[in-house]
Structure 1
Amino acid sequence: MGESRNGAAGDMGTWGVSPIGSDSAMDFLDLLAELPEGDRRTRVVDVLTIADQRPEAIMREIVPEEVLAAAAVVAGALPGGEALPWAGDDALAGAGLAAGSAAGLGAVAVRAVRAAVSHGGGWWEASWVSEEDRVAARESLDGLVQVLERNRN
């Protein structure tokens, strides 16, 4: 596991199967960590809304990995999010939302995740080099979506 999507272990790009296991996701989390709390929430909502309402903007204005990272930030602030395997990641903690500030974002996050992973005819799913990584990434994504689904209101 942890092999990059282009097939060479250790290459930059995607290095893990979690929603925050890529350079693009970490760059997004770093950006969030530099923002005040209110601006963090605004940026997360902006990314999720773009993916949800204008999926054609994926790869033009945002990348799928940003959407997955934004959804991970939302899930981290929702009940059950603390049990996700990547919940204790320092980068996610530094970019996180305050308890209660993710309320009402579960539904848009689910729709945004679905738009991001189906972009390009399902490129995200097909791009994993090994079947083991594809299965692990799918399981990781399923766990994220389950937390978001339970908190759709």
Structure 2
Amino acid sequence: MGTWGASLFGSDSAQDFLDIVASMSESERLEHVIQIFEEADRSGDSSTAEVTPEEIIAAASIVAGSLPGGEFVLLSDDYEGLSDIAFSSVSPAVRDSALRALSSSIPPGGWWWNSWVDPEDRAQMEGAIERIRAVLNTGA
């Protein structure tokens, strides 16, 4: 896996996730995203989890990008066609699941945060994820 930037979709794992869901129908995408969140809840902050933090962040970002106030996610230059991947609607249960997955898989001080070499990149990613959390918390 490679990470080339401190952005929501700036890793091979996030790009692979987006490639997979781009080929799915909206209902298949939603089911896939829910499965990722469920696996994140089961695995917690494990470096050997079946889904990577980058996949969880990308999935939560697509959910947030589908909500009012989350449009900035779909404007990312990291992947072409993000607006085609967005959901037409998102239930409160899916928003809550995204928030739980983020909290359980990348807790403050966890292994993933500690793996960042550049403190400025880590701070930039923390800010990006906080924006996603804020949109998910606001929901609509």
Alignment TM-score, normalising by the size of structure 2: 0.86
Counterparts in 2 of 1:41-60, with a 5 A limit? Answer: 41-52=30-41, 54-56=42-44, 59-60=48-49
Q: Distance in 2 between matches of 1:124 and 1:92?
A: 25
Confirm whether residue 70 of structure 1 aligns to residue 59 of structure 2.
Answer: yes
Size of the alignment, in residue pairs?
Answer: 135
Deviation at 1:57, TM superposition (A): 8.9
Q: Which runs of 5+ in 1 are unaligned?
A: 1-11
Q: Distance in 2 between matches of 1:91 and 1:23?
A: 17
Identity %: 39
Q: Distance in 2 between matches of 1:41 and 1:108?
A: 12
Q: State whether residues 18 and 140 of structure 1, in contact with CA within 8 Å, keep that contact through their aligned partners in structure 2.
A: yes
- Name the CA shift for 1:94/1:23 in 2 (closer, same or farther; >3 Å): farther
Confirm whether residue 95 of structure 1 aligns to residue 76 of structure 2.
Answer: no
- Name the CA shift for 1:91/1:20 in 2 (closer, same or farther; >3 Å): farther
Amino acid at match of 1:76: G
Q: CA RMSD in A?
A: 2.1
- Name the CA shift for 1:136/1:57 in 2 (closer, same or farther; >3 Å): closer
Q: State whether residues 45 and 110 of structure 2, in contact with CA within 8 Å, keep that contact through their aligned partners in structure 1.
A: no
Q: Distance in 2 between matches of 1:148 and 1:18?
A: 18
- Name the CA shift for 1:133/1:56 in 2 (closer, same or farther; >3 Å): closer
Match of residue 68 from structure 2? 79
Alignment TM-score, normalising by the size of structure 1: 0.79
